[in-house]
Amino acid sequence: MVISDKHILITGANSGIGKACTEYLAVKGFKIYAGARRQEDIEALNEIKNVIGLKIDVTNNQTIKEAFDYVKNENSGLFAIVNNAGIAIAGPLMDISTDDLINQFDVNLIGIHRITKAFFPLLLDSKGRIIMVSSNSGFFSAPFFGPYSSSKFALEGYSDALRRELLLYNVKVIIIQPGRIKTSIWDKGEELLGKYEGSIFKKEAYKIGKYAIEKGKNNSLNPSKVAKVVLTALKKKDPKNRYMIVPDKFRNKLLKILPSRRIDKIIKKELVKIKFSPD
Ligand SMILES: NC(=O)c1ccc[n+]([C@@H]2O[C@H](COP(=O)([O-])OP(=O)(O)OC[C@H]3O[C@@H](n4cnc5c(N)ncnc54)[C@H](OP(=O)(O)O)[C@@H]3O)[C@@H](O)[C@H]2O)c1
């Protein structure tokens, strides 16, 4: 593969995993169309060699159309999309508003559909690749992370169907499943912790949320690990369908194979401990 000929679109390129992928792949010689929402982020991305910042809000068709027109007019072709932009909404499902749930899916699933559909003609021409940044929450649903994990489960289903629909067209769909990665997504989660004051689930949701955030901030992998795997997914002639990048591989493998009733029993024990502890 001649890397310097290959152009890649990355959404949510100004922060965390998207930024790490942008910087790493640009150093490797790829030309990056880097999507961001704010002007100052676009300008900062434009400062990086091999990177062109583009305004892209994955919930806004107009920005997607303008970005597509820009890329098409460049005549550069497009080898891959890294569908990275995402948000994480957490909290007890019985307290989550319909609007919050719609917002979660609008970014993490429908946003990916908008982007992929818009740029698909270019990927068909290049026999390119679609990289989906999913999560270990795309195969394990933790209590009080329902909105986020249901959006990632949906993304996994979407990606499996798309991969199979494209088998005859030489466009590959590859799912990346990171576990805890040290990014600002965890700071954003912190704002949600106090949100469910009157909820019957307040105590469990708060403790489990706080524990996850603590781990996400302090016991997590560097986003550069994901960038390296994305490079593999772009370069390998015959890439895997899924790449898991987690700090605790054994635990995640167990979560994939243990019967769900067994996992429920373990979770129930934890919930009981929290619910009936004195504080
Ligand atoms: N960090 C982890 O532990 C972890 C684990 C598994 C999977 N992931 C996934 O990795 C992806 C990146 O997350 P991250 O951890 O790097 O978080 P992050 O630092 O918060 O980055 C999220 C990126 O998505 C962008 N974004 C949010 N809403 C958008 C929208 N409507 N249109 C366009 N861009 C939008 C953000 O832009 P703004 O700055 O403008 O908000 C930001 O660039 C997400 O899909 C996430 O679910 C993360």
* Residues within 6 Å of ligand 1 by CB: 11-12, 14-18, 37-38, 56-59, 84-88, 107, 111, 133, 135, 178, 180-181, 183-185, 188, 216
C-alpha 131/C-alpha 137 separation (Å) is 17
Per-residue confidence (pLDDT) for residue 1, from 0 to 100 = 79
Which runs of E-coded beta strand occur in the chain? Answer: 7-10, 31-36, 51-55, 80-83, 129-133, 172-178, 242-245
The structural domains of the chain, ordered by start, are: 3-275 (3.40.50.720)
Task: Report CA(208)–ligand 1 centroid distance (Å).
Answer: 21
Task: Report CA(265)–ligand 1 centroid distance (Å).
Answer: 32
Per-residue confidence (pLDDT) for residue 3, from 0 to 100 = 84
Of 33, 148, 196, 206, the catalytic one is 148
Nearest CA to ligand 1 atom 19: 16
Residues contacting 29, CB < 8 A, separation 6+: 3, 4, 50
Q: Report the atom number in ligand 1 closest to the C-alpha of 134.
A: 7
Per-residue confidence (pLDDT) for residue 257, from 0 to 100 = 95
For a ligand 1 pocket test, name from 10, 11, 17, 107 the mutation site with the most ligand atoms within 8 angstroms of its C-beta: 17
158 is catalytic: no
Task: Report CA(107)–ligand 1 centroid distance (Å).
Answer: 10
Phi/psi for 111 (5° steps) reads -60, -40
Per-residue confidence (pLDDT) for residue 237, from 0 to 100 = 96
- Amino acid code (one letter) for 83: N
Query: 98: which 2 tokens?
Result: 């319909």
Task: Report CA(4)–ligand 1 centroid distance (Å).
Answer: 27
Per-residue confidence (pLDDT) for residue 192, from 0 to 100 = 81
pLDDT digits (tens, 9 = 90+) for 231-243: 999 999 999 999 9
C-alpha 48/C-alpha 215 separation (Å) is 31
Task: Report CA(238)–ligand 1 centroid distance (Å).
Answer: 27
The candidate with the shortest Cα–Cα distance to 153, out of 172, 166, 134, is 134
Q: Please, are residues 147 and 101 in contact by the beta-carbon 8 Å criterion?
A: yes
Residues of the chain with pLDDT under 50: none
Query: 36: which 2 tokens?
Result: 């961001």
Per-residue confidence (pLDDT) for residue 277, from 0 to 100 = 86
CB atoms inside a 10 Å sphere around CB 7: 20
- Amino acid code (one letter) for 262: R
C-alpha 216/C-alpha 120 separation (Å) is 34
Q: Report the atom number in ligand 1 closest to the C-alpha of 83.
A: 45
Per-residue confidence (pLDDT) for residue 112, from 0 to 100 = 99
For a ligand 1 pocket test, name from 185, 215, 222, 229 the mutation site with the most ligand atoms within 8 angstroms of its C-beta: 185
Per-residue confidence (pLDDT) for residue 203, from 0 to 100 = 93
Residues contacting 224, CB < 8 A, separation 6+: 20, 24
Read off the pTM: 0.97
Q: Which residue has the tokens 């908008």?
A: 114
